[in-house]
């Protein structure tokens, strides 16, 4: 085996398919979100970022920065251990209490990321409950798929957001078997939202647990930023709510919130929780500042956010661009080809100073490559007009498909 040759050939294949990933090298400037510098070929130029998951700009909020800096001065950089061995800081415990409160659950548990939270929680639950079955939405995020796979439990995949199909599958499972319905509230590549209440109806009818990923909703939906389940009045019907501190909360880390017994169980059994160093206390403290700010003062930001999103969708629609029918803050534009998609985003960057990362396989299925715009409350009318004008010019230049 010629190892180097093997890896080189695989990379060449990716390049030929248009699926080779090129990262934009950014330098964010605190206080100037969504503007940033982009480094390329030893030069740097200014760009407006249109694809950040720091949805509300909280990653640069003065309270968050101040708390992070102060905590470092008080307690140092790292936590010094795993949660079990000297790594449980006061800041972790306080944040877990706050997150439990945010979701009106008895308890919460922190993980180093949202990915790890999904993988660790799902794999532990399903592998530990004898004879369990996972019912998983076909569009679930890679981290949930990893959890489902790693549990080695039986799984059934239901059609995306399709409660009829879900019920068909539930009906065929022996009633006494443990069942977990695994889904997201907002699907982050299409921007559609799950029928949470209907899924909970089925969970109650068939005695299944529910596990919801609210990663793209926490901080942004619901009166306190508790997510879509809070907005829809369904939080108490969901068994386990999972979220991230890295997107609307602007820091890093993941968590689940649930009953005390479930949290205690996962805390005691999940390898991905137990055998890794806990988050730096300054991260936990900064996340806490962000969660509290967004809970108490975020209403204006959330309203402004929705207003900006509606405005952008409207402008794009009027311009005849093929936006996908999203009902959330995510604004996808279908391109349908990886090479053209990359051409569009290269053009945006090089000619217009607009940064939108092309979304390609394996993030989305082949043939559905797209642009994914995430307007924030801070993007201005001017930013939007510049973006729409640029897209219209590019669409014309490359003779791309307009909206039907």
Ligand X SMILES: *Cc1c(COP(=O)(O)O)cnc(C)c1O
Active site residues: 247
- Choice between 47 and 144, CB closer to ligand X: 144
How far apart CA 226 and CA 277 sit, in angstroms, is: 27
- Listed ranges 151-159, 210-218, 256-264, 319-327: which one lies at the site for ligand X (CB under 6 A): 210-218
**Between residues 19 and 242, which has the closer beta carbon with respect to ligand X?**
242
- C-beta nearest to ligand X: residue: 114
Q: Count residues near ligand X (CB under 6 A).
A: 14
Determine if 124 is a binding residue for ligand X (CB under 6 A): no
User: Can you tell me the distance from the alpha carbon of 12 to that of 219, in angstroms, rounded to the nearest whole number?
Assistant: 41
Q: How far is the CB of 246 from ligand X (least distance, A)?
A: 4
Decide if residue 113 touches ligand X (CB under 6 A).
yes
Q: Is residue 272 close enough to count as binding ligand X by CB under 6 A?
A: no
Q: Work out whether 244 is an interface residue with ligand X (CB under 6 A).
A: yes
Q: Which is nearer to ligand X, 14 or 145 (CB)?
A: 145
Q: Is 241 in the site for ligand X (CB under 6 A)?
A: no
**What whole-number distance in Å separates Cα of residue 217 and Cα of residue 336?**
26
Cα separations in angstroms, 226 against 97, 221, 365:
14, 6, 30
Least distance in Å: CB of 184 to ligand X? 5
Query: Rounded to the nearest whole angstrom, what is the least distance from the CB of residue 399 to ligand X in the complex?
Result: 33
- Interacting span for ligand X (CB under 6 A) from 208-216, 227-235, 262-270, 332-340: 208-216
* Per CB under 6 A, 254 contacts ligand X: yes
Using CB under 6 A, which of the segments 213-221, 309-317, 334-342, 356-364 binds ligand X? 213-221
Q: Does 136 bind ligand X (CB under 6 A)?
A: no
Least distance to ligand X, CB of residue 391, Å: 24
Task: Decide: is 255 part of the binding site for ligand X (CB under 6 A).
Answer: no
Q: In what order do the strands lie in the sheet with 35-40?
A: 25-28, 35-40, 43-49, 354-355
Question: How far apart are CB 101 and ligand X at their closest, in Å?
Answer: 20
- Sole binder of ligand X in the list 54, 192, 213, 232 (CB under 6 A): 213
Cβ nearer to ligand X, comparing 110 with 312: 110
Smallest separation (angstroms) from ligand X to the CB of 53: 7
Site string for ligand X, 65-104 (x = CB under 6 A): ----------------------------------------
User: Does residue 60 contact residue 30 with C-beta atoms inside 8 Å?
Assistant: yes
| Residue 118 binding ligand X, by CB under 6 A | yes
CB of 402 to ligand X, least distance (A): 29
Which range binds ligand X by CB under 6 A, 5-13, 110-118, 381-389, 396-404? 110-118
What residues numbered 155-194 form the site for ligand X, per CB under 6 A? Answer: 184, 188
- Cβ of residue 163: shortest distance to ligand X, in angstroms? 20
Among 19, 143, 161, 278, binds ligand X (CB under 6 A): 143
281 is a site residue for ligand X (CB under 6 A): no
> Does residue 141 belong to the site contacting ligand X (CB under 6 A)?
yes
DSSP collapsed to 3 states, the chain: CCHHHHHHHHHHHHHHHCCCCCCCEEEECCCCCCEEEEEECCEEEEEEECCCCCCCCHHHCHHHHHHHHHHHHHHCCCCCCECCCCCCCHHHHHHHHHHHHHCCCCEEEEECCHHHHHHHHHHHHHHHCCCCEEEEECCCCHHHHHHHHHHCCEEEEECCCCHHHHHHHHHCCCCCCCEEEEEECECCCCCCECCHHHHHHHHHHCCCEEEEECCCCCCCCCCCCCCHHHHCCCHHHCCEEEEECCCCCCCCCEEEEECHHHHHHHHHHCHHHHCCECCCHHHHHHHHHHHHHHHHHHHHHHHHHHHHHHHHHHHHHHCCCCECCCCCCCEEEECCCHHHHHHHHHHHHHHHCEECCEECCCCCCCCCCEEEECCCCCCCHHHHHHHHHHHHHHHHHCCCCCCC
Q: Give the nearer residue to ligand X in terms of CB position, either 196 or 215.
A: 215
Q: Give yes or no for residue 215 binding ligand X (CB under 6 A).
A: yes
Contact set with ligand X (CB under 6 A): 113-115, 118, 141, 143, 184, 188, 213, 215-216, 244, 246, 254
């Amino acid at each position: 085996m010629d190892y180097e040759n093997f890896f080189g050939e695989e990379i060449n294949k990716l390049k030929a398919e248009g699926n080779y990933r090129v990262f934009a090298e950014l330098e964010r400037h605190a206080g100037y979100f969504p503007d940033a510098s982009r480094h390329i070929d030893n030069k740097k130029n200014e760009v407006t970022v249109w694809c950040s998951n720091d949805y509300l700009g909280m990653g640069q909020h003065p309270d968050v920065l101040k708390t992070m800096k102060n905590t470092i001065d008080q307690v140092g950089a790292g936590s010094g251990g795993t949660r079990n061995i000297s790594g449980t800081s006061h800041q972790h415990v306080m944040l877990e209490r706050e997150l439990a409160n945010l979701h009106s659950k008895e308890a919460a548990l922190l993980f180093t990321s949202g990915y790890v939270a999904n993988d660790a929680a799902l794999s532990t639950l399903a592998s530990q409950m004898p004879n369990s079955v996972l019912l998983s939405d076909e569009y679930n995020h890679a981290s949930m798929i990893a959890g489902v796979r790693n549990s080695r439990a039986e799984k059934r995949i239901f059609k995306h957001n399709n409660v009829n199909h879900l019920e068909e599958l539930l009906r065929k499972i022996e009633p006494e078997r443990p069942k977990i319905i695994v889904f997201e509230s907002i699907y982050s590549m299409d921007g559609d939202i799950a029928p949470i209440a209907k899924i909970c109806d089925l969970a109650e009818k068939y005695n299944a647990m529910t596990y919801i990923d609210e990663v793209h909703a926490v901080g942004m939906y619901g009166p306190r930023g508790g997510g879509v389940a809070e907005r829809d009045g369904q939080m108490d019907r969901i068994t386990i709510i999972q979220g991230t501190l890295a997107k609307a909360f602007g820091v890093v880390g993941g968590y689940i919130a649930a009953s005390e017994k479930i949290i205690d169980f996962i805390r005691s059994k999940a390898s991905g929780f137990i055998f890794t160093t806990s988050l730096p206390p300054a991260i936990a403290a900064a996340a806490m500042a962000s969660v509290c700010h967004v809970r108490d003062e975020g209403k204006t930001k959330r309203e402004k956010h929705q207003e900006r999103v509606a405005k952008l969708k409207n402008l794009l629609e009027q311009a005849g661009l093929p936006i996908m029918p999203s009902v959330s803050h995510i604004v996808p534009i279908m391109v349908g080809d990886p090479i053209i998609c990359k051409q569009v985003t290269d053009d945006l960057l090089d000619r217009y100073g607009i940064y939108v990362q092309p979304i390609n396989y394996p993030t989305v299925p082949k043939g559905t490559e797209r642009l994914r715009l995430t307007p924030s409350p801070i993007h201005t009318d001017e930013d939007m007009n510049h973006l729409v004008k640029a897209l219209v010019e590019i669409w014309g230049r490359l003779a791309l498909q307009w909206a039907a």
